[in-house]
Amino acid sequence: MPTSRVSRRTLLRTAAATTALVAVPRLLRAQPKTIKVGAIHPVTGPLAEVGQLQRISAQLAVDATNAAGGIKSMAGARLELLTGDSESKAEVARTVTERLVNDGAAVIMGGFHSGHIMAMVPVAQQRRVPFIIDIGAADVITRNVAQSVKEGKQKTQYVYRIFPSTSTFGARAVQHMTGVFKETKVSPKRVVVMYTNDAFGKPQSESFVSAVKAASPGFDIVEVIPYPEDAKDLSTEVSRVKALKPDILSPITRPATAILLFQELTRQRVDLMGVVSPGAPGMTQPRQLEILKEHLEFVMASVPWPNVKSPRTQRVGAEYSKRTSGKSMDETSFSYDAIQVIADVLERARSTDPDALVEAIRKTNFNDPIMVSAGPIRFDEVGENVSATTAMVQILKNKPLVVWPRDAAQAPPVFPRPRV
């Protein structure tokens, strides 16, 4: 009978639809949904080592968030890290970002090389995906986006940074130096700046020089000496430093040139009150300490550093050490804070809608960073973390210890360095 056949089908269809309608929300409730976070880091290529540590730090924070119950305001939604490898190349950073956005990343984080970040920013802006920069200092990254939003070329700013910007590095270095000199009751006068002449060293030295000019802290920069990034020999440069008779040498190095420089300072017996770097890699990394040993003793560097005095940072540090076969945390732990901020933003936004997320990012007031911070993480109108700061780290008995600011200090600063 034709009528009964049709009605049976209709019945089945209705039944199936009803079951589905009733069952699906239950399934959703039973299985918290996952929120995908894209993490783009240079995991292979010349920057591989840092990139891998950044990825581990981010994963650590994702695991901690999930273990603590996920995003509670979104029914315990779990974070899932979608990892991307920029291969230490800007153009790959861009395509990988595109791919992760296509794969459903609601937020992206990552970076390291400012050039790579510049290639990722347009993707975040065009595809309307909030982007939290964990490491990457060039001022222009956020400034350009803020500018074009201000001029009305783009509607919303999706790019925010928790890492200190280049100008922050300069200003904080001068603050810390002034603090240390006051604490030790010494007033050095003549500072010579040396920098590796590349996209990192030049702006970093300029920011330091202009911060010194702006603060007039009682010391002057008598000479700025750039040297090539791939220098094979710095003996003549160091002879020049020696001839200038400075109280302080402020070097902005890369790890390789730091080795050349510090050997040469010892060899030529340059008489200094101390070496104080306004922030550069090469003085605080374990391998550098191992290679340079006594040449680095009493050297100070104003660098991003974990707040090792905080018990929570220590706990994270222990876990980090386990996953990295014994490494201790460094600036790559900013990736941990980036994920913490993302979790906090999601918690408050209660949604993965990009504009709701941006709204929540702007209202961020995150109290619990594991890095040394000048207060809770908050973003200004340019997208910079206003509390981003560095710590003055001094090498004492071949160990990097925070000596300034006072509340994060593990040891008092030793300045001027004792004469041998």
The residues of the shown chain that bind another protein, judged by CB under 8 A, are 46-49, 197, 225-228, 230-233, 235-237, 239-240, 243, 255-257, 259-260, 263, 266-269, 285, 287, 291, 295
Distance CA 417, CA 394 (A): 11
Distance of alpha carbon 53 from the chain centroid: 12
Asked whether the beta carbons of 159 and 118 are under 8 A apart, the reply is no
Tokens of 105: 């990343």
Report the sign of the C-alpha dihedral through residues 197, 305, 285, 132, in that order. negative
Shortest distance (Å) from residue 397 CB to another protein = 19
Distance CA 51, CA 119 (A): 17
Asked whether the beta carbons of 114 and 138 are under 8 A apart, the reply is yes
Q: For another protein, give the closer residue by CB, 126 or 235.
A: 235
Q: For another protein, give the closer residue by CB, 162 or 303.
A: 303
Shortest distance (Å) from residue 191 CB to another protein = 17
Tokens of 211: 């911060």
Shortest distance (Å) from residue 393 CB to another protein = 19
Phi, psi of 339 (to 5 degrees): -70, -40
Phi, psi of 317 (to 5 degrees): -60, -40
Q: For another protein, give the closer residue by CB, 8 or 267.
A: 267
Distance CA 44, CA 51 (A): 8
Asked whether the beta carbons of 383 and 162 are under 8 A apart, the reply is no
**Residue 352 Rama label (left phi>0; alpha psi -120 to 50; beta):** alpha
Shortest distance (Å) from residue 290 CB to another protein = 10
Tokens of 363: 């209202």
Q: For another protein, give the closer residue by CB, 261 or 391.
A: 261
Q: For another protein, give the closer residue by CB, 294 or 353.
A: 294
Q: Are strands 391-396 and 300-303 parallel, antiparallel or unpaired?
A: antiparallel
Q: For another protein, give the closer residue by CB, 263 or 324.
A: 263
Distance CA 275, CA 33 (A): 52
Shortest distance (Å) from residue 315 CB to another protein = 28
Q: For another protein, give the closer residue by CB, 34 or 266.
A: 266
Distance CA 197, CA 337 (A): 30
Q: For another protein, give the closer residue by CB, 124 or 260.
A: 260
Q: For another protein, give the closer residue by CB, 59 or 253.
A: 253
For residue 320, which amino acid is it? Y
Distance CA 143, CA 60 (A): 30
